Amino acid sequence: MAVYHLVVLVSLFMVPRSESAAYAFNRTDLRVAVNDMRSRSFFGFAILLQMLNGTSEPNRDLTFLIPTDPELSGLSISVNRLEEFILRHSIRMPLSFGELDQLVRILNRGRLSFFIDNARVIMPNVCSNSVIKCHGIDAVIEFERHVPRNGKVKESPSNSTAPPPMEAPSPI
């Protein structure tokens, strides 16, 4: 069952490149969401969205999972990988924090312990004035991080705030 939920989650984050520029996006909603991000001190992600805004247009309402500025400052993202990075931190529908729990089921131990892969939601409902929803997270999402080539999941340090590792299914 956990594998099913993981597959559903990963499929939500995958959008074909050709689809991403197919339809017009309400730029007013995006502008309002970016202002909400700035007002809650998520400046880095707001800047990345503005850079992408001139080159690509998302095709529907979104929920952004926004890493903190210190997390973003440690990254090196090339301009040609910016759209991929943004899409990996978005869900193609607007979800409030309560609705996020109904769709994404990685690890949920309550409002203060809700994890999406390796990232903990630290500030729910950042974007409250737009149809776009945003939730602040404490890490850059790394989908492949936990499953190395041998199919075994890496153990997390015992004093970590990250969710406990999940066992990957063994190949048959």
7, 118, 8, 12: which is closest to 64 by C-alpha?
12
pLDDT (tens digit, 9 = 90+) per residue, 117-167?
Answer: 788 999 999 998 988 899 999 999 875 544 333 334 333 333 344 444 433
Mean pLDDT of 80-97: 84
Average pLDDT, the chain: 70
What confidence tier does 54 reach under pLDDT thresholds 50, 70, 90?
Answer: low
Contact 93, 61 (CB under 8 A): yes
- Domains observed in the chain: 2-13+24-137 (2.30.180)
CA 71 to chain centre: 13
